[in-house]
């Protein structure tokens, strides 16, 4: 179970889109409001896209040009495929730009193994609204702050038979992922890593995804 922005990719593409199309000042203001606790995870996701006035095609093209996949990402997807484990990209970002980046930057045969669970952008001349497809189930599972909480896809793969879930992430939307996974990889120096340290959550810090790929390959069958 892998986060997209800042984990699968080097940059946070959602933040890049917000700053590029919606203005850096608005993004800074939203970030400050989140740090003060005035916005929860769902709130900041909604807010950063509010002033994005662009077509879906423009946003997809910008995302493709801004994104670089993190070293080890393709190896991680391949390791999952090789041992028959599902690979889920669980993202608080927008499905549209994630799909575009994967189509452009990941080989087709690996793309076919990636399941994307993300939010949905609703584009209009007044800005982008966000639909949270996992919201109802998130609340049912006990989370009211994430919008589409990552505990939902974790529960889903467990229902489908997963016995061990490896969670990989970096941001505030990955706190629930870390809590509900069996093993956690947190990007070195990230919000999630600080959170894990502060809350005594066992984790491995990463800069590339090769360690996570190796964990998959060496996991006992
Ligand atoms: Mg992230």
CATH number at residue 65: 3.40.50.1000
pLDDT exceeds cutoff 90 at 28: yes
Sign for the CA dihedral angle at 184, 149, 114, 54 comes to negative
CA of 98 to the centre of ligand 1 (A): 12
28 by Cβ neighbours in 10 Å (0-12 / 13-18 / 19+) ranks as: exposed
Mean pLDDT for the stretch of residues 180-185: 97
Distance of alpha carbon 80 from alpha carbon 88, whole angstroms? 10
CA of 172 to the centre of ligand 1 (A): 8
Mean pLDDT for the stretch of residues 70-85: 97
Mean pLDDT for the stretch of residues 6-21: 98
CA of 115 to the centre of ligand 1 (A): 17
pLDDT tens, residue by residue, 140-164: 999 999 999 999 999 999 999 999 9
pLDDT of residue 35: 92
Distance of alpha carbon 72 from alpha carbon 130, whole angstroms? 30
Phi, psi values for residue 166, rounded to 5°: -100, 125
Number of domains in the chain: 1
pLDDT exceeds cutoff 90 at 58: yes
Mean pLDDT for the stretch of residues 37-59: 96
CA of 29 to the centre of ligand 1 (A): 19
pLDDT band at 14 (very low <50, low <70, confident <90, very high): very high
% residues pLDDT > 70 (the chain) = 100
Could you list the residue range(s) of the whole structural domain that residue 11 is in? 4-218
**Is the separation of the CB atoms in 134 and 69 below 8 Å?**
no
pLDDT exceeds cutoff 90 at 47: yes
CA of 5 to the centre of ligand 1 (A): 4
pLDDT exceeds cutoff 90 at 220: no
Contacts of 213 (CB under 8 A, 6+ apart): 72, 75, 76, 78, 79
pLDDT exceeds cutoff 90 at 119: yes
Mean pLDDT for the stretch of residues 175-188: 97
């Amino acid at each position: 179970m892998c986060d997209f922005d800042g984990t699968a990719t080097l940059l946070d593409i959602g933040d890049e889109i917000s700053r590029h199309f919606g203005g850096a000042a608005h993004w800074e203001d939203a970030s400050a409001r989140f740090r003060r606790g005035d916005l929860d995870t769902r709130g900041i996701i909604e807010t950063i896209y509010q002033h994005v006035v662009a077509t879906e095609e423009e946003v997809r093209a910008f995302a493709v040009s801004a994104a670089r996949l993190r070293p080890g990402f393709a190896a991680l997807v391949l390791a999952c495929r090789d041992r028959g484990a599902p690979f889920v990209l669980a993202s608080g970002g927008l499905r549209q730009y994630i799909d575009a980046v994967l189509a452009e930057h990941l080989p087709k045969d690996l793309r076919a193994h990636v399941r994307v669970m993300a939010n949905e952008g609703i584009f209009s001349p007044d800005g982008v609204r966000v639909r949270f497809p996992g919201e109802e189930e998130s609340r049912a599972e006990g989370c009211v702050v994430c919008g589409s909480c990552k505990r939902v896809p974790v529960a889903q793969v467990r229902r489908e038979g997963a016995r061990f879930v490896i969670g990989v992430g970096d941001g505030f939307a990955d706190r629930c992922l870390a809590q509900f996974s069996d093993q956690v990889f947190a990007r070195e120096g990230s919000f999630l890593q600080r959170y894990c340290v502060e809350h005594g959550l066992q984790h491995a810090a990463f800069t590339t995804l090769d360690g996570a790929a190796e964990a998959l390959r060496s996991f006992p069958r």
